[in-house]
Amino acid sequence: MAADQAGPVVTTPYGAVRGRYERGIAVFRGIPYAAPPFGPLRFRPPRPPEPWDGVRDAGAFGPTAPKPPYSEAFARYLSDPDIPGDDCLNLNVWTPEPGPGARLPVLVWLHGGALTRGSSAVPVYDGGTFARDGVVCVSVNYRLGVEGYGLFPDAPPNPGLRDQLAALLWVHETIAAFGGDPDRITLCGQSAGAISAGALLAAPRTQGLIRRAVLQSGPPEVSDRDKVRRVVRRMAARLKIPATAEAFAAVDRGLLLRTQAEVGRLGSPVLGGPAFGIVVDGDLVPGDPLKALAEGTAARDAELLMGWTRDEYRLWLVPGGLLERVDRLGAVALAGAMARCHAGHDIPRGYRVLHPGAGTAEIVGQMVTDHLLRVPLHRLADARPGASYLYEFAWPSRLPGLGACHALELGFVFDTGDVPESEKLAGAGAPQELCDAMHTAWVRFAATGDPGWAAWDATHPVRIFDGGEPRVACGPRDAEVALWDTASAVPEPPRHSVPRAPGAELASAVRRLRRSVDALRR
C-alpha cells in the first residue's frame, strides 16, 4: 500500500486505485471487478475488466445497475440511489488498515431489493462502521432484473449471480492488499442478497472461498424456471418482440425498465406471481441450495447466522394501505395466502388458535413469512446444529403500522440508525443501545463465528433484538413451524398443469386479490 496527499493507494490485479481517508478509515469506492455488461457482453457471464495504467480514482460510488425506481408508496420508506454509467459491476472496500499483513476478517455484503432494485450506494450500508471495529467490509453491485435474472433460450441463466461470484473471486484474490484475510470471508446478505448468499454458499465453485455466512430475511432457494420465463414472456408480449436475449438487447434501456416495472406490479412477496429469481442451471447452481446445505454436501464447516424480523410482511402491506384492504377482503385474502403457500385449511386454523386476536392481514402475513422464510431456516438450522445461530429482530419502527418490518434491521446491523435513509423506515430516535448490540454481534460473528449467544440445539435458542436487555428465547416460533410439519397441505400442482375445479374458486380469489394489489400500486 502506498499513500499520497489525496489518499491511500492499493494495487489490484487490474491496476492501482486511490481511495480516501474518512474518520480514520480507508475507503475505496467504485472499483471494477468485471467489464461493463453491455454491448456483446449483455446477458452474458461477466468478463474481467480491462486493466488500466496509472492510479484510478476510487473516491466516489460507481454506476449502479439499470433498475426501475421504487413506486411512490415504497420510496417513502426505502432509498435507492441511481448512478448512471455502464461500468456497473463494481465494488467498494472499507478497511482500517490497508496493505498486506493485517489479515483482518472480511465481510462481503450483498444488497437486497427483490433482484430488481437496490445497490451498494445506499447510505445505510456504510461499511465504515465495520472497518472501525476491525472488519474489512466489501459491498457489491450486480446486475438486476431482466439484465441479471432473465431466462432466455440464447443466453446462460443467472448472470447476476455470476456477477456476485466474480466479485467474490476478486475479493479472495485481492483483499489481502487491503488488509483482509482471504481465509476469513463472511458472505452476508439481506432479502434477495441473503437468497443469493445461500446459493453461492452451496455452489461447488465457491467451496473454500466462504468461511461463514449471514442470511438476513432470505433462505437458500431457487425459483421455478417457468415462473421466471413468464416474466420474460410478458415483457416480450408488451414489447412485441421475441422472448430472446438478442431481441431484448436491441430494446432501449429505459423502455425495457419501464416494461419490467409494469409487469412486476402483477406479483408481490406475499401473493406470489411472476418474478425474477435464481434458477437451477446445472453449472453454478446444480441443484437446490437448501438441500445441499442441509445434507452437508456443501459448505460443511461454514457457520451460519440466520434470522428474520418479527413483522416481515408489513413492508409490503402497509405502503399504499394494502394492510387494511387485506383485512377487508377477509376470506378472499386468506384463500390467496393458502394458494401462495399450497396450504390446507388446517394451517390457517392453527394460526387462528395461536393468534386469537389477530386480523386477517396479520394471519396472512405471518403464514406467508413462515412458509417462505422461517420454516426453511428452522430446517436448515436443525440440519446444522452447533454451527447455526438464529435471531429475531422485534423492535417496532416508530412510523405508524410498520412494526418490525422487512429491512428495518439494516440500520442496526450497520450501526447507521442515525442516517436519514435509515430514519425513512425506522423513524427518528432509533435506540443506540440496540444498534450497539446488533452490530457487535455481526462483528463478532465475522471475526470468530460466534455472535455471542448459544448455537442452535434441541432447545432452539433464538436471540431476540427488541431494544431491551439482551435475551434468548427458546423456540419462540416452534408452534407455528410445527403447523407446517403436521397439518395437511394441498399438494403443489404439477408444472405446466392447469388447476381444475374445485381449485377454480380459489384461483379466482387469488386473481381478485392480485387485482387489488395492482390497483393500489398504480
- Ranges assigned E (strand) in 136-279: 136-140, 180-190, 212-216
Residue 282, sorted as left (phi over 0), alpha (psi -120 to 50) or beta, turns out to be left
Neighbours of 171 (CB within 10 A): 24
Q: Percent of the chain, pLDDT > 70? A: 91
pLDDT confidence of residue 271: 60
Is 406 designated active site? yes
Instruction: Look at residue 222 and tell me whether its pLDDT is greater than 70.
Output: yes
Q: Which residues neighbour 125 within 8 Å (Cβ) at sequence distance 6 or greater?
A: 109, 111, 139, 410, 414, 416
**Residue corresponding to grid cell 423506515:** 425
Is 497 designated active site? no
Q: Where are the domains of the chain?
A: 1-221+287-301, 314-405+440-522
The superfamily CATH assigns to domain 1-221+287-301 is Alpha/Beta hydrolase fold, catalytic domain (3.40.50.1820)
The grid coordinates of residue 331 equal 376470506
pLDDT confidence of residue 496: 35
Please, are residues 325 and 516 in contact by the beta-carbon 8 Å criterion? yes
3 state SS of 22 = strand
Please give the Cα distance from 514 to 266 (Å, whole number).
Answer: 7
> Which residue out of 139, 191, 388, 422 is catalytically annotated?
191
| 3-state DSSP of 23-87 | CCEEEEEEEECCCCCCHHHCCCCCCCCCCCCCEEECCCCCCCCCCCCCCHHHHCCCCCCCCCCCC
pLDDT confidence of residue 268: 63
> Which residue out of 406, 409, 460, 516 is catalytically annotated?
406
Please, are residues 217 and 308 in contact by the beta-carbon 8 Å criterion? yes
pLDDT confidence of residue 519: 41
3 state SS of 246 = helix
pLDDT confidence of residue 518: 47
pLDDT confidence of residue 494: 38
Nearest C-alpha neighbor of 514 from the set 269, 227, 271, 261:
271
Average pLDDT, stretch 70-75? 92
In angstroms, the Cα distances linking 139 to 18, 125, 259, 424, 440 are: 17, 8, 28, 22, 19
In angstroms, the Cα distances linking 490 to 270, 345, 363, 506 are: 18, 9, 18, 12
Give pLDDT tens digits for 136-148: 999 999 999 999 9
Lowest mean pLDDT among 287-301, 331-345, 486-500: 486-500
Instruction: Look at residue 337 and tell me whether its pLDDT is greater than 80.
Output: no
Please, are residues 217 and 190 in contact by the beta-carbon 8 Å criterion? yes
> Which residue out of 147, 303, 312, 392 is catalytically annotated?
312
Is 111 designated active site? no
